[in-house]
Each structure stands twice: as structure tokens, then as C-alpha cells.
Amino acid sequence: MSVTCCDRPDLVGHSGLLGTVWHAEAPTENDIDIHAAMPLLLSSHAGMFEQWQVDEAVRTGRLGSASYRCSDSLLFAAISVDEQQTAHGKDIAGAAQKAYAVLFEIMAAQGFTHFVRCWNYFADINMEQDDPRGRLERYRLFNIGRQAAFEAAEHSADVGAPAACALGTRSGPLTVYALAARCAPRCVENPRQVSAYRYPQRYGPKSPSFSRGSVLSDMNGGHVLFVSGTASIVGHESVHIGDVVAQTEESLRNIVTVVAQANLGLGCEAFSSHKLCYKVFVRHAADAAVVADTLQRVLGMSPEAVDLVILQADVCRAELLVEIEAVGFA
């Protein structure tokens, strides 16, 4: 498996194409799997056209509003759900439950049993909203719906949950895309942090359903590390409030720890923080340059040596200014 970033879709071959993601405006004349409307602020590439590919034959299908492509070993599925089309309208919990129910249905139909990595984007993630369960932040409502879908599908929402992220957009539907496999990934936790699925109830009625990372291995000895969206959290507390540089440094300390735990589980130094592909989300566009400089300084790498994309999005806690995710191949 590989991921390719470029600025022109016609420059990338479509043999073995699993999925396509746009993070900038998507040209309507192309066959786009998923569009996550987040402004592209800075990139070590010419643009932000992201393709997931495999060296296998791929078949394509649809189920309702979801589309998918799968090979013998991997499934890429994507869905967008308009909250206004849910039973109660403007219901992010209902939209999340519906989206994941469809994804689980696709997985079952195609013989895939394990989520490996999930990406979740929706509007107004930090806004509070009236709900029958009380007035709750939309991220917390999303977690209620996601966990309900996991439980209905009898899929673990705690130990064994996939790597994941949840970011806020300015507008648009709930957008979810995911990778799934037939074999179970090795889930990775961070000893510097409380596992997200073990957060105390002060963070919402239902805990987030994700692991800090996951490692997918193939029969040929190859490995892929997915680092979940990672922020300036130690234990379960947000730290360095108001300081985007310190938050970036703390986020990277957490990522370095996840990489070390992944290597420990494999029994070898398969991955290095210097060789990851980084995707960074900043709350404020003006912070993009200083966040990029901080990442390069902490990693001890020149700008041209870092595989980096910075997008503008809201982080799942209102006090957090930056979130970093990554993927590595070995």
C-alpha cells in the first residue's frame, strides 16, 4: 500500500487505485471519491491530491450514498451524510451512527472484518447543540453516534478500535472515509496519555472510539503505521493552552512515543519519526508557518526533507490549536 500526494490527478496512474481524497477544491470533471473542505495552507508538495494505492486488482462498488474500492486485502470506503436528512435534522449523532452503519455493512458484504484507519470531518465540531441527552458539544454527540454504530456491529469501541481523527470544517456534511482489512492490525497506545476510550466522563457521555495508532502488516513482511490525530494532551488533560509552538512540540513528543511503541510491538526499528508523512491541522491560518518551522526544528530536518501538509481545521477540543497525524511505511 502507498499514498501519493500531487497537484494533478491526471499525473497519477489509476491501476490499483483504492481511494482519492481532495483537501482543496475538487474539480468537478474528475471522479472524486471524497472531498474534505479544508483550506490548504502549506505543503511540501505542489498541491493536495491524495491517492491510496495497492499493487493488486481493485473492484468498485456503491451502497446508498457510500462508495468503495477494494482489493483482496484492503478496502477503502467513503461516505458523506447530510445531517438535515437524519430523522431529527441537524443531528450529528444520528449522522455518525448512519455513516458507520453503512461502512460496517460494506465491510461485512465484502468480507472485511477490521477497521484500520478512519477519518471524520464535520462542521462546527466545538459548537454546543441542544439534544435529548442535554446540551452537548457536537464532538461529544458525534462520539455517541459513532460508539452506537460500533456496538450495533459488535465491533470493539475500545481495545482494538482503529486509528482515527475527527476535525471540524466550516460547513458541509459529515464526511467519513476509512481503510479496512481482513486481518487485524496491531493497535498502539501511548503511555504518556490515557487511552481515548478510557477518558473520564467529563469529556462526554461516550468516550472517543479510537486507538492512538495502528500497524498493519502484510504477508511479505511490510508494515504501515497509522498515527491517529495527535494533540497537546498529557494524561487526559490539554496542556500549553494558548501557546501554539509548545502545543506543536508536545504533539510531536506524543507522536515520537507512538512510533517507539509501534517499533516495540514489532520487535524492530521499523519506523522513524523522520520518515513519516505528516498531515497537520491548525485552527488559525496565521499559525501555519510557525507550526511548520517548529515541526522541522523538533525533527531536526530541513524543510525540503519533511513530507508535510498543513490544512486549516478546528481541533476536537476548543482549547487546542494544532493536531498532527502521520503515516509511515516500512
Please state the pTM of the whole predicted model.
0.94
Confidence band of 137 (pLDDT split at 50, 70, 90):
very high
Q: What is the predicted pLDDT for the residue at 296? A: 97
pLDDT at 23: 73
Model confidence at 47: pLDDT above 70 = no
pLDDT band at residue 2, thresholds of 50, 70 and 90? confident
Output the pLDDT for position 22.
80
Q: What would the pLDDT profile of 203-248 be if each residue is shown by its tens digit?
A: 999 999 999 999 999 877 899 999 999 999 999 999 999 999 999 9
| pLDDT at residue 234 in the model | 98
Rg of the chain over CA atoms, in angstroms? 18
Average pLDDT score, the chain? 91
Give the mean pLDDT of 178-194. Answer: 97
pLDDT at residue 288 greater than cutoff 90? yes
pLDDT at 70: 95
Is residue 123 over pLDDT 60?
yes
Q: Is the pLDDT of residue 12 over 60?
A: no
User: Pick the catalytic residue: 83, 250, 323, 325?
Assistant: 323
Question: Is residue 78 within 8 Å of 67, Cβ to Cβ?
Answer: yes
The better pLDDT of the pair 28, 157 is held by 157
Residue 158 has pLDDT above 60, yes or no: yes
In percent, the amount of the chain with pLDDT more than 90 equals 78
- What per-residue confidence (pLDDT) applies to 131? 81
Count of domains for the chain: 1
Which pLDDT does position 10 carry in this prediction?
44
Active site residue 151: no
What integer pLDDT is reported at residue 252 of this predicted model? 98
Residue 9 has pLDDT above 90, yes or no: no
**Domain of residue 203, CATH code:** 3.30.1330.40
Q: Domain residues for 249?
A: 2-329
Pairing of strands 59-63, 34-35: unpaired
Residue 87 has pLDDT above 80, yes or no: no
Digit-coded pLDDT (tens) for 89-121: 779 999 999 999 999 999 999 999 999 999 999
